[in-house]
Structure 1
Amino acid sequence: MTNIPGGGADLDRWLAPFLSVMGRKTRRTWAPLYLRGLLGPGERKSLQPMAARLGLGSHDQLQHFIASTAWDDAPLWSVLAQQADKLVGGPQAWLVIDDTALPKKGTMSVGVLPQYCGQLGKKANCQSLVSLTLAQDEVPVPVGLRLFLPQEWTSDRERCVQAGVPETAMALRAKGEIALGELDRLTAAGVRFGTVLADAGYGASAAFRQGLDARGLRWAVGIPRNQKVYSAAVQLVPPAGRARKPIPNEQPVEAEKVLADLSWRRIAWRQGTKGALAARFAAARIRVGDGPIWGNNRHLPGDEAWLVGEWRSGGERKYYLSNLPADTSLQVLAAAIKARWVCEQAHQQLKQELGLGHFEGRSWTGLHRHALMSCIASAYLQHLRLAAHRRMRRGENAEPNAGPAAITKPARRAARHPRPAVQSPGHASPMSALPT
């Protein structure tokens, strides 16, 4: 990005709510500079290249700002949530939960370990972050990035201390548990959304699904094909013999078998650049086998839900659960399932344009603060994109002297995924005043 439309006074105005919660003047000076470093030109968004492009004598002050434990950045995350809600929040918005991995060399960076890396499509040395993205009308705004610590890290207290991991984060936590904690933080900040979306890495967990239910949320999540389910008509009956607890009057069945013989209907969820994006779908009302264990590791029926299958053009089948209402159409179910891919746009922009994976420090604080600033930068770009769209609708020019299309258009999708489908909804110093 060689030019930032409105990147001077407009950026300063947009950052005002963030800077108002930052306390000391030095932080209110260095935060806009760091953001300009992320938003500005250059392939590498690590500290030294950014400092050089900003005309700074060294990168020491940027390093101190981004990695210092002397100040709390929680208020900044809250302001980000509130600004994201203003941009795309509402009852028609999606909250997408996913992973994003940052390839890393060496063993000292916090949380790094050989684990699955989606960016490379294989197991590799990387850091894995739980990602939360608020989206509506194909406009994604990342609102949460929290590092997952593998057991090899949480079981090595000295290693965690050296990397600056807070005491509260040293306990082993599943990704679903981290996601639910971040979801609670966003809810407390007033973020509005209608449905939570997640892939099978989260949806396979009964604890995660039940955590969403306990919060009164609507959701649609991926599951493995062998997830056990019952028919919606299953009943608990008195057992034979001496057993006292009621048991189901039918055996649980794998999800793929339930849908195998149903009629699969072709559904297009949106128009792509090469025509309609479509696949075949089938759905059935079922009760999920995620209740208490009643024998031979079989679970009692849980709540009633939708079981949805997707049969892609290449022959691959995917399976999903959703607690959307019983009268929800197959078209709406399919649109909800496919809307999850909008987070890929956010991840791609964070990595390719804003340098999310370029941070070269090793600490917990540095990584999360760099991630925070990357998210704020992404939200600013979406602010520009939406402002340009409003001007176009009024028949005005999108932006005088507009910069690259990446600023006013969504990042191009990753090649391995279909385009996302999102339901439509009915005071910093200027750039020239660099501190010496």
Structure 2
Amino acid sequence: MTVRAGVDTIFTRPAEPDTRRRTARRTQSDRTLSDRAPSGRTPSVRPPGTTDPGPTAGGVLDELSEVLFAPLPRSDQRAKGALYLRGLIAAEGRKSIRNIAAQVGGPELAQSLHHFIAASTWDWEPVSRALQRHADNELRFTAWVVQALPVPRKGRQAIGMWGVASDVTVPVRWHLVPFGEAAAGCVAAAARVCDPSTIGPRPVVLDLPGAELGPVFDRYARAGAPLLSAVPATLPVLDQGAGRGAGRSARSLPAARVLQLHRMLRRPVEWTDPATGAVRRSLVGGVPVEWAGLPLLLLGQWDAGQEQPVGCWLTNLTATPLGVLLRLAKLPRRVEQDFAGSASHVGALDDYEGRGADGWHRHMTLAAAAHVAQVVAAARARVRPWTHCMVSMERMGRSF
């Protein structure tokens, strides 16, 4: 099966087995946390006094809850997970546990939900993997973006993984970089966030400033997975371009210098600015290089009137058209724009008020799930993407 990417190229993805079936939507009922759903499924709990969210929104949330919380060993954990997910969507303003509890049963639930997130024994990793698979099945991602973002007021960095579809981007996985590992830790965190053995043949775009990317490129090369990463203009690479001259050996030069030496290879390329929606034109050039022992392509972008390249990237997609590569390289900007417009509705990076890293990961995993639920509900209702139809999404969020 092939899927046409939103960056004007085609990537092959594994065919899904014919036996794949969607989880049946269940009628919601007001059950207590101690009730066990039939066949061990997660109970669907609706806050007292709320109305049925309807077949599209409610069905999406029920399906997602069953998929995510099936790995949890205890029925009370599955029920609390469903409550927390519902509360993330319904709560307005800061997604504190107090606000979440107020939406799904009252202040008396706050302590129980806090324990579920901060001190319970359930593992967030299987839940995160289940979310990634479910979101991919629903939204049909054509690329992945792995990006480092600061966590406000905590002085730390988080590595997020987004799935990119034709008209939406959604976070599906998060990792909190440990204190004191802002650069080196990015590599380990990115490796945990984005496993080339599980993401399929779609390209991965990295935006990890300050990280040592050699081990990441080596890992993707061994896995045969497509990768494109922003790199500093000063990064030394071995120039393998044909313009070096006969008999001359490759030499190590800064990436920007190599691109300048081959600027006659530049071609005009159009791309859409995620911030404004305007179509822009840039000059783009590509030069074969060797870096970290790997044959790669060095991509450069020049804007009008600029002598030096304004952006440099390395990729193992050496046969891909330059226009496609530049549009891939712009996906992190699209992610930033989408996340800035949607984070307050599903959970920002600093909403979690606890101190433990496990609690932060549990909260952010469910915040990503809330994001996916609303985007999938919007897609099924055939409304426009989140950032273009915020009013409709707000109404949908309240209906949960």
Do the two structures share a fold, i.e. TM-score over 0.5? Answer: yes
Match of 2:225 in 1: 217
> Of 136, 147, 161, which aligns to 1:98?
147
Shift of 1:271: 7.5
Q: 1:16 corresponds to which letter in structure 2?
A: E
Q: Choose between structure 1 and 2 for higher RCO, CA contacts under 8 A separated by at least 6 residues.
A: 1
More deviation, 263-272/331-340? 263-272
1:21 and 1:75 in contact (8 A); partners too: yes
Q: Normalising by the residue count of structure 1, what TM-score does the alignment of the two structures yield?
A: 0.67
| One-letter identity of the residue aligned with 2:71 | V
How far is 1:177 from its partner?
Answer: 2.0
Equivalent in the alignment of 1:85: 136
Q: How does 1:58-77 map to 2 (within 5 A)?
A: 58=108, 59-77=110-128
Q: Structure 1 CA distance, aligned partners of 2:209 and 2:274?
A: 27
- CA positional deviation for 1:367: 0.7
What are the equivalent positions in structure 2 for 1:120-269 lying under 5 Å apart?
126-151=155-180, 174-184=185-195, 187-188=197-198, 191-199=199-207, 201=209, 205-232=213-240, 249-260=249-260, 262-263=263-264, 264-269=266-271
Q: Deviations over 1:122-160 (max 9, x none)?
A: xxxx2311111121213222121111013389xxxxxxx
Does residue 272 of structure 2 align to residue 270 of structure 1?
yes
Map of 1:42 onto structure 2: 92
Pairwise CA distance, 1:346: 5.3
Contact 1:66 1:366 in 2 (8 A): yes
Distance 1:378 1:209, change over 3 A: same
Counterpart-to-counterpart distance in 2, 1:202 and 1:194: 25
Task: Give the number of equivalent residue pairs.
Answer: 334
Q: 2:328 aligns with which of 328, 336, 340?
A: 336
Contact persistence 1:381–1:407 (CA under 8 A): no
143 and 187 in structure 1: CA distance in 2 versus 1, 3 angstrom threshold: farther
286, 289, 303: which is aligned to 1:284?
A: 286
Q: Deviations over 1:250-271 (max 9, x none)?
A: 4322221222251443321238
SS in 2 for 1:201: coil
**Amino acid in structure 2 at the alignment position of 1:269:** W
Deviation at 1:363, TM superposition (A): 1.1
Tell me the SS of whatever aligns to 2:297: strand
Amino acid corresponding to residue 19 of structure 1 in structure 2: F
Deviations 1:266-291, CA, capped at 9 Å, x for gaps: 3212387966432423323322343x
Query: Secondary structure in 2 aligned to 1:174?
Result: helix
Q: Any unmatched runs of 5+ in structure 2? A: 1-49, 243-247
On the 8 A contact 1:384/1:408 being kept in 2, the answer is no
Distance in 2 separating the partners of 1:202 and 1:72: 30
Alpha-carbon separation, structure 1, partners of 2:274 and 2:355? 41
Deviations 1:284-322 (A, max 9, x none): 3322343xxxxxxxxxxx332221111245857111111
The residue type equivalent to 1:177 in the other structure is A
Identity %: 23
> 1:11 Cα shift?
1.8
Work out whether residues 148 and 157 of structure 2, in 8 Å CA contact, stay in contact via their aligned partners in 1.
yes
| Alpha carbons of structure 1 residues 152 and 131: separation in structure 2 relative to 1, 3 Å | closer
Q: Does the C-alpha gap of structure 1 residues 10 and 276 become closer, same or farther in structure 2, counting only changes over 3 Å?
A: closer
RMSD of equivalent CA atoms: 3.4
Q: 1:41 to 1:68 in 2, by over 3 A?
A: closer
Amino acid at match of 2:134: Q
1:354 paired with 2:346, answer yes
The unaligned stretches of length 5 or more in structure 1 are 105-111, 113-125, 154-171, 235-247, 291-301, 393-397, 410-429, 432-436
TM-score (normalizing by structure 2): 0.73
Amino acid across the alignment from 2:230: G
Q: What residue is the counterpart of 2:380 in the other structure?
A: 387
Change in CA separation of 1:272 and 1:25 when aligned onto 2, cut-off 3 Å: closer
In the other structure, the counterpart of 1:27 is 77
SS of 2:318's equivalent in the other structure is: coil
1:3-27 CA-partner distances (Å, limit 9, x unpaired): 9774435422332222332232212
Distance 1:21 1:139 in 2: 28
The SS at the match of 1:404 is helix
